[in-house]
């Protein structure tokens, strides 16, 4: 799964979400248009897909693989941060890096916030579990759009950070396409 990005000021929702099938055909998913696709992930049982169009400040969920029951999973309501990259842990919690929010937030499968990790930079961009037992949560961040003055006050921009949140991730599925 992947999506497109129309990352310009006042970006219009022109793009979409796609799946590369096993036969290497490309399929546009019935999830509507988006400006900046993000947060694509799946519940541990593969029955729920998460995704977002970052400017809407909503992470959505739908049944997979039917794409039915499309619904708002989480809506960011505070003044800062938009949903960026996400990963799902072994318990079904969705961890989301919140661009502009100086944080990573974990949401339970019912959408309740259950954990928050402060990140020492304004633009956390993606999260991933790693390490031999998938107990380490890595957080990437970005420097894009920050001028010299902003970089002086955000010395950690572009860094990678490590947290041990007390839950484990799962190995990502390997693409089983045409050999």
pLDDT tens profile 60-115: 999 999 999 999 999 999 999 999 999 999 999 999 999 999 999 999 999 999 99
- DSSP labels, 122-149: S-EEEEEEESTTS-EEEEEE--TT--HH
- Coil, helix or strand at residue 152: helix
Helix intervals (H) in 42-163:
148-153
Other CB atoms within a 10 A radius of the CB of residue 89 amount to: 21
Place of tokens 């950690």: 156
Instruction: Yes or no: say if 38 and 54 are a contact pair by the CB < 8 Å rule.
Output: yes
Per-residue pLDDT at 102: 97
Per-residue pLDDT at 7: 79
Place of tokens 């990963």: 87
User: With 90 as the cut, is the pLDDT of residue 179 above it?
Assistant: no
Per-residue pLDDT at 173: 87
Bridge partners, 108 (sequence order)? none
CATH number of 2-163: 2.120.10.30
pLDDT tens profile 125-152: 999 999 999 999 999 999 999 999 999 9
Averaged over 56-60, what is the pLDDT?
97
Higher pLDDT, 47 or 10: 47
11 pLDDT band, cuts 50/70/90, is confident
User: With 90 as the cut, is the pLDDT of residue 58 above it?
Assistant: yes
Whole-number mean pLDDT of the chain? Answer: 96
Per-residue pLDDT at 178: 86
Which two structure tokens, joined as six digits, stand for 70?
């499309």
């Amino acid at each position: 799964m992947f999506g497109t990005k129309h990352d310009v000021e006042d970006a219009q929702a022109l793009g979409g979400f796609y799946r590369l099938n096993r036969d290497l055909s490309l399929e546009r998913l019935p999830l509507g248009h988006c400006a900046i696709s993000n947060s694509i992930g799946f519940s541990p049982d593969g029955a729920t897909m998460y995704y977002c169009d970052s400017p809407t400040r909503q992470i959505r969920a739908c049944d997979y693989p039917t794409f039915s029951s499309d619904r708002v999973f989480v809506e960011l309501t505070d003044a800062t941060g938009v949903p960026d990259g996400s990963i799902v842990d072994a318990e079904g919690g969705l961890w989301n890096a919140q661009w502009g929010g100086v944080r990573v937030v974990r949401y339970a499968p019912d959408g309740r916030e259950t954990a928050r990790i402060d990140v020492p930079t304004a633009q956390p961009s993606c999260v991933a579990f790693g390490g031999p037992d998938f107990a380490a949560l890595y957080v990437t961040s970005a420097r894009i759009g920050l001028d010299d003055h902003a970089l002086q006050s955000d010395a950690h921009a572009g860094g990678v950070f490590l947290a041990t949140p007390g839950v484990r991730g799962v190995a990502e599925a390997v693409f089983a396409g045409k050999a």
